[in-house]
Structure 1
Amino acid sequence: MRTPAGRARLSFVKPLEPAQVETPPVSDDWLHEIKYDGFRTQIIRDWAGVRAFSRNGHDWSARYWPVVAAAEKLPAESFIIDGEMIAPEPDGRPNFHAIHSRMTWNAELLAFVAFDLLYLNGEHIRPLPLIERKARLWNLIKPAKGIIQYSEHVEGNGAAFFEAVEKMGLEGMVSKRRHSSYRSGKMDTWVKTKCWDVGDFELLGIKREPGKPVVALMAKEGKYAGGAAVALPNGLRERLWQRVQEGRAAKPARPVPIAFAGDVEWVKPGITGKVRFLRGEHKLRHATMHSFRED
């Protein structure tokens, strides 16, 4: 198709990235949404049709073809929608571990959760207040219960919303100032609060670096899972050091990144650490080891 004179295609907009915080904001100036565990995606429609872009601006339209086809039916000539591509379970919860296989074999089982509208029918609406952009988004995609969904929100009561998200076993929440405009990059007008999990991990070794906390390198189900800062009380810490000395190994019990070669005191299998970590991450992040046991 030839480009109409003077009409370039709509361009990908670099996403707004929420800052991470420990606790959600409490004032009534904030809207709160579920943080969906998937792939940030931008759906763009212009004179030549619909395309779907990844977080970094790569065209993934072929991978998301059922969502692209559904977006073609929305009642607008042009739009840019910001959202998250997820692999929903029957109860609606996103399953990140299923998203890759669905992209390859069952793309019709994906869903796009829309949470912002940046452009509509020739108008750049990023300067408008969030609450107005979301109203226009709802009018565009309602009832939004199928392959294209709408990210519901609550106003205020951030602490109560976070408690509900945590009880449901979800990854976390995103809070957004109701009157904020949309600007690319990391902004404190959007903040994310993630839930914590505690689990058992196999200790592979101890990494020490001058001036930095001691880090326990961990594995889960036979695969390297990441590092956790050692946060043991003094007596338990000394016992761990003794156990590490007694169980030294020449190499790790599981495959690990090459970058760790020569930097770590590897240990033989038999130590399990109790680790607190951010939920929804695919490697340990902001993790701490609070106890251990010898199997």
Structure 2
Amino acid sequence: MSKRGKVSGGRLEFIPPQIPTLVEQPPEDEGWVHEVKFDGYRTQLIIDQGGVRLFSKNGHDWTAKYWPIALAVELPCRAAILDGEVIVAGERGAPDCPALETAIWNEPSRLVFVAFDILHLDGRNLAPLPLLQRKQALWQLVEPGAGKIRYSEHFDGDTLAILRTIDKMGLEGIISKRADSRYRSGPSTTWLKASYFEEGDFRIAGRHSRAWHGSNGPDGHA
């Protein structure tokens, strides 16, 4: 078995996450899909014969901190590794990062895990598969819903329209991903991050329009 998702003593091992590259504006060419950049803590959820565990992006076991999520996992599989973020939803439905740390200690029932990728499923290493195939497998496992384990939708098309919609919703930004890319640990140019937008001028397909310029932000996909 590949080192990704390999079993050690009957338990799956943590996989270092793929890290997006910060860009000033998202790609406009074909072959990319876009996901909401959640304002939360990057988390890896592992299911195996030992139960459910949740790890920080640096590989620290945070299951005890995220215990309501661990208890809520009832997915139709024997083993899986999901990549995602732990968030707290604010009043408008957008993630509320300032409330997250408080919720971990005082209101853990508010914590939600949003899954955006799957690396392992019932003995299969899914990391070499194209992103959209992994997203399909993830959707079939998690399915869209409003429980503690949620699925992160992806979008394609006009990135400017997507950015404007996300901004109106009070969300942080977007992660653009190559639709045909495999999952690779570490810094990546097939995942691009644009966030904290300020309007500026640029041209799309020969016409004058508005753009959004990114700057670095907290945890999340980072």
Gaps of 5+ in 1: 1-5, 199-275, 283-295
Gaps of 5+ in 2: 1-7, 200-212
Tell me the equivalent position of 1:118. Answer: 119
Cα distance between partner residues in 2 of 1:91 and 1:180 = 33
In structure 1, the residue corresponding to 2:11 is in which secondary structure? Answer: coil
For these two proteins, the number of residue pairs brought into alignment is 199
After TM superposition, the score normalised by the length of structure 2 is 0.84
Cα distance between partner residues in 1 of 2:90 and 2:170 = 13
Tell me the equivalent position of 1:256. Answer: none
Runs of 4+ in structure 1 displaced over 3 angstroms? 276-282
C-alpha deviations, 1:192-225, integer Å up to 9, x for none?
0112369xxxxxxxxxxxxxxxxxxxxxxxxxxx
Q: Is the 8 A contact 1:118 1:124 kept in 2?
A: yes
C-alpha deviations, 1:119-145, integer Å up to 9, x for none?
000111000010010111011112332
Cα distance between partner residues in 1 of 2:116 and 2:93 = 16
Cα distance between partner residues in 2 of 1:24 and 1:135 = 23
Matched, 1:88 2:116: no
Work out which structure has the larger RCO, using CA pairs closer than 8 Å and 6 or more positions apart in sequence.
2
Q: How has the CA–CA distance of structure 1 residues 20 and 145 changed in structure 2, closer, same or farther, with 3 Å as cutoff?
A: same
Q: Please tell me the root mean square deviation across aligned C-alpha atoms, in Å.
A: 2.0
Query: How many percent of aligned residue pairs carry the same amino acid?
Result: 45
Structure 1 residues 1-295: aligned runs within 5 Å: 7-71=9-73, 73-196=74-197, 278=215, 280-281=217-218
Cα distance between partner residues in 1 of 2:32 and 2:214 = 26
Displacement after TM superposition at 1:277 (Å): 8.7
What letter corresponds to residue 162 of structure 2 in structure 1? F
What letter corresponds to residue 64 of structure 2 in structure 1? A
After TM superposition, the score normalised by the length of structure 1 is 0.64
Larger CA Rg, structure 1 vs 2: 1
Q: Is the 8 A contact 2:84 2:117 kept in 1?
A: yes
Q: Is the 8 A contact 1:28 1:157 kept in 2?
A: no
